[in-house]
Amino acid sequence: MPELPEVETVRRGLAPVMEGQVIAKASVYRPDLRWPFPEGMADRLTGQRVLRLGRRSKYLLADLSGGETLLVHLGMSGRMTVSGDPLGRFVHAQAAPEKHDHVVLDMADGTRITMNDPRRFGAMDLMATDAMDRHRLLAGIGPEPLGNAFNADHLAARLAGRRTSIKAALLDQRNVAGLGNIYVCESLFRACISPKRQAGRVGRARIEALTQAIRDVLTDAIAAGGSSLKDYRQADGELGYFQHSFDVYGREGLPCRRDNCGGTVARIVQSARSTFYCPACQR
């Protein structure tokens, strides 16, 4: 499932061709994805100008001129791709909708934005922009890890007294927004913290190191266009490349990449998810 770097990469790819542009026609080819689409979604989108394309956690948010915001979640296999860009920034010509093209936005300048989702775990919704923070999918989400509100003081307060594992605590979107399995594993490796360690027993110095590691991993992943393991593509259809820089994720049985460690990457299961780490240097 796309995590923060993948969604942010898609946002950056879509923003130049969506912000300030009018949706000349919205086409919806099925009644639902993971959940039913909002009533009259195609009509409510058609004619709207996209004022701003933002992101909250793993959700894309398009603020519209009519006072509503379009929420998009890519699910496990969703893609938002661009074709027909009149300025030549995207090379893919427009084509007839394919089997899994569920929502198509034709912009007034000739650009087409297509939501393709073979497994249909994605979602779209419309909400009043001024009530966005109260939406059921957004309410209660923690601070953005690349924003000023996420710091060692915040993380220390959220971890204090917690008996759950540090990995589970970081996956909890109420503590920090947008982190998923891949980037939690990579961040814990960089901070030399075992994913099995009890969250409330991570000391202050290590919390500071972890806070910085999370920022660094996400920044590096965004710069690489995210991670493409199965379905993820950037807005121009290209793959992400951060998977080639994984230190632990998916590297079970391979040597630890930390200098002078000598350990071997292991895989365990936590909360029904695979966790990859080096038992020799992550304590």
Active site residues per annotation: 2-3, 58, 273
Inter-residue contact 228 to 250 (CB < 8 Å): no
User: How large is the greatest C-alpha to C-alpha distance in the chain, in angstroms?
Assistant: 61
Paired residues of 264 in beta bridges:
255
In the chain, DSSP finds a helix count (H) and a strand count (E) of 6, 10
Token pair for residue 59?
Answer: 């959700």
Inter-residue contact 228 to 255 (CB < 8 Å): no
Strand order in the sheet with 101-107: 23-28, 101-107, 112-116, 79-83
Phi, psi of 6 (to 5 degrees): -70, -45
CA-nearest of 176, 117, 189 to 150 is: 176
Which contiguous run of DSSP H or E holds residue 83? strand 79-83
Kindly give, in sequence order, each residue whose CB lies less than 8 Å from that of residue 267, ignoring residues fewer than 6 positions away. 252, 274, 275, 276
CA-nearest of 64, 173, 73, 80 to 127 is: 64
